[in-house]
Amino acid sequence: IFKFGGASVKDAASVINILRVLKYNGFENTLIVISAMGKTTNALEQVVNLYYDNDKHFIPELENVRKMHYQIIDELFKENKKLVSKKVDEFFDEALNFLNNNSVNDYSFIYDQVVSIGELVSTSIVSYFVANNNIRNTWLDARKCIKTDYYYRDANLNWETTLNNIKKLVDGNSTLISQGFIGSTKDGITTTLGREGSDYSAAIFAYALSADSVTIWKDVPGVLNGDPSQFNDTILLNQISYTEAIELAFYGASVIHPKTIQPLQRKGIPLFVKSFENPENPGTSVSKGQVLEPYVPCYIVKKNQTLLNLSTKDFSFIVEENISEIFALFHHYKMRVEMIQNSAISFSICIFNKYDTIAPLVEELSLKFRVKV
């Protein structure tokens, strides 16, 4: 399984580079998972925000995203340009039609229907391009494979159905190109697996197909001990264990999606994180029981976190009964807990307010606790 992120398909030159990577590494019996191009996801999120705010500028904003893809098609194709553009238009027209006729006022539902087209468009362009360059491939709609519940923007997998679908749809094909990040419910409504969820998609395909390995192609040489945009003099980790990788990903190391490792370690499938600019370099290997090499500390920066400090109003202890009640509220309001610290009468929690539900959560907590935000 190969996975290419947004940076590796950000423009025409990057798509041409994918061809080079495939020819260098081989592409037979390979399933290739591809993200949206460059900053497409951010641009489509802006479309959703404008639409949700009843700002009609969502239409020209969506057209700008379409034009950006047209430009890449122009640079990549001499022949079949109309054929590729027609395929791309189908997805943009579908999104526009949805927005013009939608009557559901659920932000997360709207988000998934619109933002998901980024991956459908990018994979269509790459599939046509590599086919034009003598790599026969099958374009696979991930929504027909990956089945989820209705938890929009962070959907949970129906593993049994997903595994059966993947085996059935992949069977008999040597080289396939599919999307990361997206899936669908049992009745075909598009869902997404969480921001940067393409790594997880690759791991799902790998588990279903008992793949030999998964390689994530990045714009960095591998897994570093810190984000190079935040820290100077970062060090490449040559190898790490599944356990170390899960810890790094869970606490926010953006190089690997948090859910990626679990399916791989269940079948002992090794993960490689390599540079798409230098595919000949070994990068980082992640597998069972490997010690961290070199043995250095790792640093993670997390932004836009919310710190809640709770204390009891009557100076009674915060014990298991209170804590279970607090966590039930976090679950109800879709709050992800990042870190906790407690003493006898206080409880501090660092949370990620992804679904903007902090106000009703604090209101409910304030019935029993003093709350500082």
Two structure tokens written together for 68: 């950006």
Question: Measured between alpha carbons, how far is 79 from 228 in angstroms, rounded to an integer?
Answer: 40
Sign of the alpha-carbon torsion through 61, 65, 71, 73: negative
pLDDT tens column, 135-175: 999 999 999 999 999 999 999 999 999 999 999 999 999 99
Q: How far from 50 is each of 7, 46, 61, CA to CA, in Å? A: 25, 6, 9
The total of other beta-carbon atoms located within 10 Å of residue 288's CB is 12
Backbone angles phi and psi of 182, in degrees to 5: -115, 155
Low-confidence residues in the chain, pLDDT < 70: none
pLDDT tens column, 44-75: 999 999 999 999 999 999 999 999 999 999 99
Sign of the alpha-carbon torsion through 263, 267, 273, 278: negative
The alpha carbon of residue 193 and the mean position of all alpha carbons in its chain are separated, in whole angstroms, by 6
Confidence (pLDDT) at 259: 86
Question: Could you tell me which of 221, 213, 216, 142 has the C-alpha nearest to residue 184?
Answer: 142
Confidence (pLDDT) at 346: 87
Backbone angles phi and psi of 368, in degrees to 5: -115, -25
Confidence (pLDDT) at 140: 98
Two structure tokens written together for 291: 């010690």
Give every CB contact of residue 359 below 8 A, 6+ residues apart in sequence.
none
Confidence (pLDDT) at 344: 84
Task: Output the pTM of the full model.
Answer: 0.85
